[in-house]
């Protein structure tokens, strides 16, 4: 996410194997190519690690070494950070209620609960750092992006219950599919509260989990929510000043060596 003068990276991609990770191979070169604000000086403002699982943190050490974020925010325990080579980086625990503003853009942590940090022994999906980002109003609309990590149905229920007194607070233009579109997430109660226009499921080609799950795809379709799978879309670009459009890199810049994943109408095959 980029604001006028700041940049934030939410999760660092997977570890592929010994000495091979998405940080080196994808994330750092992509951010440099995009010319992310703040990266002119070779630094990232904030790296958020939603939770410890390696599909989110496998690239973190490489990002840390090459982009030297000013800070790290996340839901990892000290020994987990040590194992990932992140022990020496400036760290803050992700806790609901934390908020800051960059260039008129508001960032708020919605989960996990601040109390949950004490005494827990692991930081799996349940502790995913849920981030809400709200842009300054344009034409009477403040675009919102919701990044929920890998939360499951219990956390989705909790999230909706917490904000029941402020209807519309969870409404977002763009949402990452919770837990990559797993059938354990994207519950109707969450979708009704968020009612996003766009949902992006970050998945792997022919991934063994079957993400995004067929019932989840149907749920989005029934609510007329546009689901984009990164397998077909490639990098998905979205801007808060054009919240109604989402651009897929693979569609914008097709290459002959990528097999066709869109039909002539631009629909995913």
Q: Is the Cβ of residue 55 or residue 156 nearer to Zn ion in the bound state?
A: 55
Least distance CB 246 / Zn ion (angstroms): 21
Applying CB under 5 A, what is the total number of residues that bind Zn ion? 2
Distance CA 98, CA 80 (A): 22
Q: How far is CA 70 from the centre of its chain?
A: 19
- Provide the minimum distance between the beta carbon of 201 and Zn ion in the complex, in angstroms, as a whole number: 11
Asked if 190 and 156 touch (Cβ cutoff 8 Å), the reply is yes
Q: Which of 38/178 has CB closer to Zn ion? A: 178
In 112-156, where do the E strands start and end?
A: 130-134, 144-147
61 interacts with Zn ion by CB under 5 A: no
Annotate 34-81 with DSSP letters as a single string. Answer: HT-TTGGGT--SEEEE-SS-HHHHTTHHHHHHHH--SEEEES--HHHH
Least separation in angstroms between CB 179 and Zn ion: 6
The structure tokens 């109604």 sit at 244
CB of 175 to Zn ion, least distance (A): 15
Cα first-last separation, the chain = 29
Q: How far is the CB of 211 from Zn ion (least distance, A)?
A: 9
Of 11, 24, 45, 55, the residue at the interface with Zn ion (CB under 5 A) is 55
- The residue among 24 and 55 lying less far from Zn ion, judged by its C-beta, is 55
Q: Among 37-45, 51-59, 90-98, 139-147, which window interacts with Zn ion (CB under 5 A)?
A: 51-59
Given the complex with Zn ion, which of 3 and 202 has the nearer CB atom?
Answer: 202
Contact of 204 with 231, CB cutoff 8 Å: yes
Q: Does 11 bind Zn ion (CB under 5 A)?
A: no
- Could you say which DSSP state residue 150 is in? T
Residue 168 structure tokens: 């519309």
CB of 130 or CB of 143, closer to Zn ion: 130
| CB 18 to Zn ion: min, Å | 20
Q: Is the dihedral of CA 246, 230, 189, 94 positive or negative?
A: negative
Q: Which of residues 124-153 bind Zn ion (CB under 5 A)?
A: 150
Binding interface with Zn ion (CB under 5 A): 55, 150
């Amino acid at each position: 996410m980029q604001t006028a003068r700041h940049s934030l990276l939410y999760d660092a991609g997977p570890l592929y194997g010994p000495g091979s990770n998405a940080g080196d191979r994808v994330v750092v070169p992509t951010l440099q190519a995009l010319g992310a604000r703040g990266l002119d000086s070779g630094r990232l403002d904030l790296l958020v690690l939603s939770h410890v699982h390696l599909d989110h943190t496998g690239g973190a050490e490489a990002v840390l070494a090459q982009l030297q974020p000013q800070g790290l925010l996340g839901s990892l325990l000290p020994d987990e950070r040590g194992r990932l080579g992140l022990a020496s980086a400036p760290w803050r625990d992700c806790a609901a209620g934390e908020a800051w503003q960059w260039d008129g853009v508001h960032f708020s942590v919605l989960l996990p609960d601040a109390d949950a940090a004490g005494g827990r022994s692991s930081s799996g999906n349940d502790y995913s750092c849920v981030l809400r980002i709200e842009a300054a109003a344009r034409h009477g609309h403040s675009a919102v992006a919701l990044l929920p990590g890998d939360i499951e149905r219990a956390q989705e229920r909790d999230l909706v219950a917490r904000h029941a007194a402020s209807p519309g607070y969870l409404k977002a233009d763009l949402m990452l599919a919770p837990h990559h579109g797993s059938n354990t997430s994207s519950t109707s109660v969450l979708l009704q509260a968020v009612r996003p226009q766009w949902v992006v499921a970050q998945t792997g080609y022919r991934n063994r989990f079957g993400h995004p799950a067929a019932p989840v795809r149907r749920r989005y379709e029934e609510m007329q929510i546009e689901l984009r799978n990164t397998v077909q879309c490639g990098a998905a670009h979205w801007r808060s000043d054009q919240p109604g459009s989402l651009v897929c890199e693979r569609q914008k810049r097709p290459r002959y060596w990528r097999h066709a994943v869109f039909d002539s109408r631009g629909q995913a095959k």
